[in-house]
Amino acid sequence: MASAQDVVEKAREADLRLVRFLWCGNDGTVRAKASAVGGLEGRIESGIGLTVAMQAMNGLDHLQPVEGMGPVGEIRLVPDPETFRVLPYAPRTGGMLVDLMQLSGEPAPQCPRSFLKRMATRLEERAGVLEVAFENEFSLARVEDGAFVPVDSSLCFSTIGLTASQEYVDALVDALERQEIGLEQYYAELGHGQQELSTAHAPAVRAADEQVLVRETIRGVASGFGLVASLAPKPWPENAGNGGHIHFSLWKDGKNVFHDPAAEDGLSATARSFVAGILRHLPGLCGLTAPSFNSYHRIVPQYWAGAFTCWGHDNREAPVRVPSLFWGSEEASTNVELKAADASCNPYLAVGGLIAAGLDGLERELEPPEPVEVDPATIPEDERARRRIYRLPATQERALDALYDDDVLTVAFGPTLSTSYLAVRRSEWEAYSAGDETFEQQGHFSKY
Ligand code: GLU
Ligand code: MG
């Protein structure tokens, strides 16, 4: 286990001046306060002070009226020394992910990272460790006369797209390597300027920490090239959406509990119950995994984001997709993908919610419905209704209502986290639904 002293030593070795204490808001924004290297050890131990109001702040920096989150009161940003990295895209700067702690030294009830730790522990006690990997799509743009213009107009997986961004991507991969974040694949995807990056899986909390670092790195490296990288779910109304797909599998004693070699699709009864739990809670879960106003311009039928409550094998129109296995590593490659997710989410809340939903499936030994092996939009409406295939929430407002109505998710959150989260995200709905397309784009493009 790394200590405060280890971090100070590393910071001095790397000749750092500042170390960012990073956290993610209820609005999905990554925020930070930085400590000077002098005094760093003390700040690691007792945290940096933060107004208690901060988790009531929305994505427009409008503070929402939430009881106990006003001008009076303080929490502490207490970093986890294990997460320390030198940040390659910021001069002489390091970073660490934090827990939000009360002055008593207990985790604050609104702390997203502590919520995920609680969920990971509950799951571990029952079934094992959730390994999670994020697959981020994002858009690379230049700013011309105040407008975001994609860096290329290349075709899907086209090498012309690869060439257009190759200097940036080389620097991006280098920055990830230096932070010891494992890269799996990179390519230029369907939309103009669209890139996709998949990173290695890790236990839930570390995966969420790394998702914050990856988002920071994607944007930070772009900024060094005078570009803007955006992980907004629908960066341009007429262009492909950016998914932040979440892959997951469950491990115990070195074995993938999701894997059953005897099953035709390789999925164990445990995996099926976990999937059933996710499907049962999917509308409310969307309020966490695809939580922004802009998210619902992405989750529409026939855009490969998954718009109906269903699961399927290699089905890219199913929000819950079971990918086919890799030859020779069948057990290791058994996993499930949640496609109804994007990088405007707070990854701790999204993965914690996913665990709560999956756990409900395990605890109640739920069975998933028949998988859907066609595009669900092509199934006649009456058949869809008979098979209980429903349209996922079509707006942020609907998704938040479904979250509010989902007792499993809100009880897992606890009252402080639920109330502040819903207040923040609902206020964004109020603001953006009253505005126009330009306001929506400005409000998401350079914030995620
Ligand atoms: N861009 C699609 C999305 O919004 C995903 C395309 C793919 O399957 O990679 O999720
Ligand atoms: Mg993709």
- Three-state helix/strand/coil letters over 379-411: CCHHHHHHCCCCECCCCHHHHHHHHHHCHHHHH
Which residues lie across from 136 on neighbouring strands? 197, 244
| Cα 243 to ligand 1 centre (Å) | 5
- If asked whether residues 14 and 47 sit together in one domain, one would say yes
Rounded distance between C-alpha atoms, residue 66 and residue 423, angstroms: 7
Q: What is the pLDDT of residue 1?
A: 87
- If asked whether residues 133 and 196 sit together in one domain, one would say yes
Lowest mean pLDDT among 78-87, 128-137, 153-162, 245-254: 153-162
Judge contact between 153 and 164, C-beta under 8 A.
no
Listed residues 101, 135, 154: the one ending a domain: 101
**What is the residue with the minimal CA distance to atom 6 of ligand 1?**
304
| Cα 138 to ligand 2 centre (Å) | 10
- Nearest by Cα to 45 from 112, 91, 86, 98: 98
Listed residues 72, 101, 130: the one ending a domain: 101
Segment 66-92 mean pLDDT: 97
Q: Which two structure tokens, joined as six digits, stand for 126?
A: 């029952």
| Cα 304 to ligand 2 centre (Å) | 9
**Dihedral, CA of residue 408, residue 409, residue 414 and residue 416, to nearest 10:** -150
Pocket residue to mutate for ligand 1, from 135, 137, 197, 392, most atoms within 8 A of Cβ: 137
Instruction: Name the band, by pLDDT with cuts 50, 70 and 90, for residue 154.
Output: very high
- If asked whether residues 56 and 133 sit together in one domain, one would say no
- Nearest by Cα to 110 from 435, 359, 349: 349
- If asked whether residues 399 and 296 sit together in one domain, one would say yes
- Nearest by Cα to 428 from 69, 67, 58: 58
Pocket residue to mutate for ligand 1, from 322, 339, 375, 448, most atoms within 8 A of Cβ: 339
Pocket residue to mutate for ligand 1, from 134, 185, 234, 245, most atoms within 8 A of Cβ: 245
CB within 8 A of 345, min separation 6: which ones? 28, 244, 288, 289, 290, 291
- If asked whether residues 90 and 204 sit together in one domain, one would say no
Q: What is the pLDDT of residue 175?
A: 98
Is residue 112 included in any domain, yes or no?
no
Pairing of strands 18-24, 93-101: parallel
- If asked whether residues 92 and 140 sit together in one domain, one would say no
The ligand minimizing its distance to the Cα of 197 is 2
| Cα 287 to ligand 1 centre (Å) | 19
Task: Count Cα neighbours of 249 within 13 Å in the Cβ-side half-sphere.
Answer: 25
- If asked whether residues 182 and 72 sit together in one domain, one would say no
CB atoms within 10 A of CB 262: 6
Stretch (H or E) spanning 275? helix 269-289
Instruction: Name the band, by pLDDT with cuts 50, 70 and 90, for residue 422.
Output: very high
Is residue 427 included in any domain, yes or no?
yes
Pocket residue to mutate for ligand 1, from 236, 289, 304, most atoms within 8 A of Cβ: 304
The ligand minimizing its distance to the Cα of 135 is 2
Amino acid residing at 189: E
Domain residues for the domain of 234 are 118-445
- If asked whether residues 166 and 35 sit together in one domain, one would say no
Instruction: Name the band, by pLDDT with cuts 50, 70 and 90, for residue 103.
Output: very high
| Cα 124 to ligand 2 centre (Å) | 30
- If asked whether residues 94 and 122 sit together in one domain, one would say no
State the Cα angle at 38 between 36 and 44, rounded to 5°.
75
Give the nearest ligand 1 atom to 190 CA. Answer: 1
pLDDT of 219 higher than 90 = yes
What are the backbone angles phi and psi of residue 195, rounded to the nearest 5°? -125, 155
Distances (CA, A) of 77 to 31, 97, 117, 328, 448: 11, 9, 16, 45, 22
Q: Which two structure tokens, joined as six digits, stand for 96?
A: 């660490």
Is residue 338 included in any domain, yes or no?
yes
| Cα 342 to ligand 1 centre (Å) | 10
Distances (CA, A) of 146 to 141, 228, 293, 438, 446: 11, 12, 22, 11, 12
- Nearest by Cα to 50 from 91, 79, 86: 79
Is residue 113 included in any domain, yes or no?
no
Is residue 106 included in any domain, yes or no?
no
269-289 and 347-363 helices, crossing angle to 10°: 140
Is residue 107 included in any domain, yes or no?
no
Model pTM above 0.75: yes
| Cα 189 to ligand 2 centre (Å) | 6
Judge contact between 108 and 100, C-beta under 8 A.
yes
Chain-wide mean pLDDT for the chain? Answer: 97
| Cα 196 to ligand 2 centre (Å) | 6
Listed residues 51, 67, 101: the one ending a domain: 101
Rounded distance between C-alpha atoms, residue 257 and residue 431, angstroms: 44
Maximum alpha-carbon separation in the chain: 67
Pocket of ligand 1 (CB under 6 A): 137, 240-241, 243, 298, 304-305, 316, 339
Express each pLDDT in 294-317 by its tens digit: 999 999 999 999 999 999 999 999
Q: Which two structure tokens, joined as six digits, stand for 25?
A: 């808001």
pLDDT of 327 higher than 90 = yes
CATH of the domain at 324: 3.30.590.10
- If asked whether residues 417 and 353 sit together in one domain, one would say yes
| Cα 306 to ligand 1 centre (Å) | 9
CB atoms within 10 A of CB 391: 17
- If asked whether residues 133 and 215 sit together in one domain, one would say yes
Q: What is the pLDDT of residue 49?
A: 97
Q: What is the pLDDT of residue 58?
A: 97
Judge contact between 428 and 58, C-beta under 8 A.
yes
Rounded distance between C-alpha atoms, residue 254 and residue 266, angstroms: 17
pLDDT of 148 higher than 90 = yes
The number of folded domains in the chain is 2
**What is the residue with the minimal CA distance to atom 7 of ligand 1?**
304
Give the nearest ligand 1 atom to 233 CA. Answer: 4
CATH of the domain at 87: 3.10.20.70
- If asked whether residues 81 and 165 sit together in one domain, one would say no
Is residue 110 included in any domain, yes or no?
no
Give the nearest ligand 1 atom to 298 CA. Answer: 4
Pocket residue to mutate for ligand 1, from 189, 292, 324, most atoms within 8 A of Cβ: 189
Is residue 143 included in any domain, yes or no?
yes
The ligand minimizing its distance to the Cα of 242 is 1
